[in-house]
Structure 1
Amino acid sequence: MLTSLSRPWQLLVLSAQTDSELKTATVNLADYLRQHRDFNLADVAQTLQREQKAFRHRRTVVCRDIEDALVALADPKRILTNIQETQERSVAFMFPGLGTHYVNMAWELYQVEPVFRASVNYCCEFLKPLLGQDLRDVIYPNRASQQDQQSPQENSQGLDLRKMLGRSQTQTDTKIVAATSLLNQTHLAQPAIFVIEYALAQLLISWGIRPTAMIGYSIGEYVAATLAEVLSLDEGLKLIAKRAQMIQKLPNGAMLAVPLSQTEIFPLLNHKLSLSAVNGPSMGVIAGETDAVEALEQQLTQKGLACRRLETSHAFHSQMMEDASSDLRKLVKTFNLQAPKIPYISNVTGTWITAASATNPDYWVKHMCQPVLFASGIQELWKQQYPILLEVGPGQTLGSFALQCIEDNPTVSQIILPSLRYSYDRKPDLAFLLKTLGRLWLAGIQIDWTGFVSTQ
């Protein structure tokens, strides 16, 4: 039985009225820690979080223990500093779709964060009879043996080159290899990404990070709809599991990312090829029958265009999904759909979801068969709210898309934040997330420090 571990990482926060005062506070903290090496760093972190006033000049650092804190406080690469402007910023959650999921995603959070673990456990127990297996055995195949595995160093060499370049792993762990193969199957991949993103959102909300708006990409919109209470959690889980099973039964297809605008893509489409997604001004995805996609890839490559085949078994968001339309419509009709309580962007229209659309079974059929209009959606979200964009799920794909879509502003990249590492990033999950939490605080977001401590 997996037992909870204490947080192996801590977030230290400092603030002051001036830059010189902040520098002095940093030196004073380091001196204090040097004189009290036997202190528990968690106690120090909690005192800083809950008892000091948050001034404009702010600084954060993520560290493991007192000794690591002394090293980190003297390392400019590990310290983050910002001057917080007076205006309040809102946060928008971005939920990615398939493509960046991996075995053991958020494993450290599952070990040490009770809110995250409870959400994953509830979802996986509910899904057991629907999937015919425990999804935790697929996402975390070595749960028992990995339980006490030590977290890597926060400043360790952070990238696994083989994974980053898509090369095969040294296949020494047969469980991981088998689980990866399983997790890449549509009927398990889609519920898995939903579960991890939903649980991650619940953890962030428990820390006081509440979205004023949301945007999901494909499967990610189901997470947004569930958080917005269009669907209850049980309905969201049932819908995502049954929908994935419907798609699994459809004929296989292929998807191709192309460096073309929507206008440039349209002449390439036919009865075998559909526009599947618009990710940026010159970033689209075409999906369809495998032979047609292969022929198109060859044709565009010969013209010097850098195309990329996506690792997928089916042609998502294309006309090849239409054979599942009737069954999906019947299933959605059995749910008690409600108007959204949190605004979110529709993939189908590229603008704000309406109560009429969210509660109409036909909308969810369109969502499965029609292209994901992410580019126009993120532009709409940005121009109305100018929020901090927080990607709630593995990787930073949506963040990179968003950078291509919103106005050219040098400060924009500072407020597009990830929450969960890519598979090839070796940084520990908790340190990665705490760094983002620190960046949110630096940007002026109010953290519920009491909730942050009590969720441990």
Structure 2
Amino acid sequence: MSLTSHSAVVRRLIVSPGSAPRQPARVVASAAGVSVVLRAFGRSPEELPARTVVLIGTDADADSGTGADSVPGGALPTEHEGFTVRTVGGPGQVLRRAHQELHEGTADLALVAEFGAPDPQTITVYAVKRAAEAVADGDTVLGILDMFAPGDVAPPLRPLWQPPRGTDPDRHRLILWSGRDAADEARVREELLPMLSGVHRERFPALPVTVPCGTAPGPVRGAAVAVSALASRTVHRARAADASRPRPIALMFPGQGSQHAGMAAGLYRREPVFTAAVDAVLAHLGEEGHLIRADWLDPNRATIGIDDVRRAQPLLFAIDYALGRMVLGWGVRPVAVLGHSAGELVAATLAGVVSLRDAVEMVRARVREAVRIPAGGMLAVAASEEQLLPYLTGDVAIAAVNANQQVMLAGSQGPLDAVRDRLKADRFTAVAVPASSPFHSPAMAPASDAVETAYRDIPLREPRLPLYSGYTGTLMSPEEARSPRFWARQITDTVYFRDALDELLAADDVLLVEVGPRQTLTAFARRHRSVRLGAGAVVPLLPARRGTLEADRQSVLTAAARIWTEGHDLDLDAVSRLWTWGTGRPTSPAEDADIAVAAREVLHA
């Protein structure tokens, strides 16, 4: 089942607008009733997506408009408390209208209300979302709307398709154990080793994730990531960690320059939240999304190279976002998020500043305008900002200050090549960054002006969790988060990642998790004084370079193990999907390539 073409019911609740009078009257569609619908699931209207629509099914009784605050003739206002309100036909049409609104992009959440159901004094409220986004958001999916049912009846709910449980003993999996103290941890480990040595390899994937079973994890913890044949040896060699004082977690999202061919492909169709999130992003890109997926899964036959802005920016957004959703699905609750360049938009999306659909449209606008700018590039230079000032000429500018003695330059291709030659002649190390556009330089000014106009129609909100901005070097203010100009000028402005990281690590000793490919931000963070002294720490989610599909899963599991031994409890059912989910989908590189080729042939036909 392709989730991107379906809608899911994620909540269903029967609510009563008030206490029952002695002679109960039928609940009618009214402004007060709409207020009840907006608050039905215990969230204030401010917490709902900006594009939430209330859809009300109508029938003869509901149209009577006898409520004290109903509009004469049963007509409701088209807007209430800032949200769109629509009256639709009968019950068979209202859920179909919800599906239509969601997939046409006019809504991110549909609240479907049946007044006077199941009895005259109650309202039945359904919360409906695009199915792929519901899975990515970690919602409990009550069912998928069957839109193939006859149009005159309410579409029934079908179960969410689940692949069979995995049984491959050659997949890496996580093994966790703990004890009350060091001696107790050693005892538990000694009891675990014979079990791992004696278990039949086909049973290995089904072993419990944590030992001892059924007890709360202790403050001394151990973890191993292994395949069946090496499990006992890996557990024996693992080091125990004191998890009694866990550092809070902050997530870092890399930007352009971190991308590489096939990044994170080992998780696609093998981890449900990651897969659904990637699909949700690419679905918002329409046909171009299909081509991006094909080039990603079959990079040797890609129609557009991964470093081209048309591939790098949307695909990197999809990967960062999907990884972030996966980590949040483990039960991780970050105290802060920080993005580098384009990664800041991912951080903002997860922090609630902008909806996923609108964030993808913002990426799309950036790409659309960037390709109109003459070719340029970026250089990573081992020098300070002050050392590089004499070399700036033409439109070449300081693009990013990432760490001490690690600065990036950007500009049009000709002037940038001249600067690179001068730097090398003066014995500076200057390395080209994978980029075909001169982001964070004055050359991008026309693009910045154009995207600002596009961003004015996008609802922007203040962050729901601390969001450190690389463009100000400090916490993003509510005014900045809601400013189209702030987001548009990111195309031209310098990224002060070092300053933002300084601010974050000055606020607390944290465990930084890099949520993206290549470990670029991990390298910057390891140079920070807090991390070098051991007060803070950093762990990457993915490998530093392209490897096998299994290496992606192994790296993610290693990060999960590090988070657990730090002292953070995880949703182990969610983590275990990395080795138990996806056996009902294509799992080999050859099959992925076949799918990519088929998609490309369909789109070019």
Q: Is 1:349–1:373's contact at 8 Å kept on the other side of the alignment?
A: yes
Q: Select the residue among 231, 237, 262 that pairs with 1:69.
A: 231
CA distance in 2, matches of 1:250, 1:80: 52
RMSD: 2.3
CA distance in 1, matches of 2:577, 2:401: 42
Q: Select the residue among 216, 225, 228 that pairs with 1:53.
A: 216
Please say if 1:237 is aligned against 2:360: yes
Q: 1:338-373 deviations in whole A, cap 9, x for unaligned? A: 111121111211111011011111101221111110
Q: Is 2:474–2:499's contact at 8 Å kept on the other side of the alignment?
A: yes
Q: Select the residue among 238, 242, 254 that pairs with 1:83.
A: 242
CA distance in 2, matches of 1:240, 1:215: 18
Aligned pairs (5 A) from 1:45-444:
45-46=208-209, 48=211, 51-65=214-228, 67-74=229-236, 76=237, 79-84=238-243, 86-129=244-287, 131=288, 133-141=290-298, 176-179=299-302, 181-407=304-530, 409-411=532-534, 415-426=537-548, 428-444=551-567
User: Match of 2:499, SS?
Assistant: helix
1:181 CA displacement: 4.3
Q: Is 1:97–1:220's contact at 8 Å kept on the other side of the alignment?
A: yes
CA distance in 1, matches of 2:353, 2:425: 46
Over 3 Å counting, the alpha-carbon distance change for 1:408 and 1:138 in structure 2 is: closer
1:60 CA displacement: 0.6
Over 3 Å counting, the alpha-carbon distance change for 1:260 and 1:375 in structure 2 is: same
Q: Is 2:176–2:210's contact at 8 Å kept on the other side of the alignment?
A: no
Normalised by the length of structure 2, the TM-score is 0.65
User: Match of 2:530, SS?
Assistant: coil
Over 3 Å counting, the alpha-carbon distance change for 1:370 and 1:440 in structure 2 is: same
CA distance in 2, matches of 1:408, 1:211: 18
Deviates more, 1:312-321 or 1:416-425: 416-425
Over 3 Å counting, the alpha-carbon distance change for 1:200 and 1:137 in structure 2 is: same
Letter in 1 for 2:256: L
CA distance in 1, matches of 2:230, 2:306: 36
CA distance in 1, matches of 2:521, 2:471: 17
Structure number with higher strand proportion: 2
Over 3 Å counting, the alpha-carbon distance change for 1:180 and 1:422 in structure 2 is: farther
User: Match of 1:313, SS?
Assistant: coil
Letter in 2 for 1:81: A
1:80 CA displacement: 4.0
Larger Rg: 2
CA distance in 2, matches of 1:89, 1:30: 30
Q: 1:132-169 deviations in whole A, cap 9, x for unaligned? A: 7432112112xxxxxxxxxxxxxxxxxxxxxxxxxxxx
Q: 1:201-237 deviations in whole A, cap 9, x for unaligned? A: 1111111112210111111001001111111000001
CA distance in 1, matches of 2:234, 2:332: 26
* Amino-acid identity (%): 27
Deviates more, 1:10-19 or 1:45-54: 45-54
CA distance in 2, matches of 1:83, 1:272: 52
Structure number with higher helix proportion: 1
Between 1 and 2, higher relative CO (CA 8 Å, sep ≥ 6) is seen in 1
CA distance in 2, matches of 1:93, 1:352: 14
Letter in 2 for 1:110: Y
Q: Select the residue among 15, 19, 25 that pairs with 2:182.
A: 19
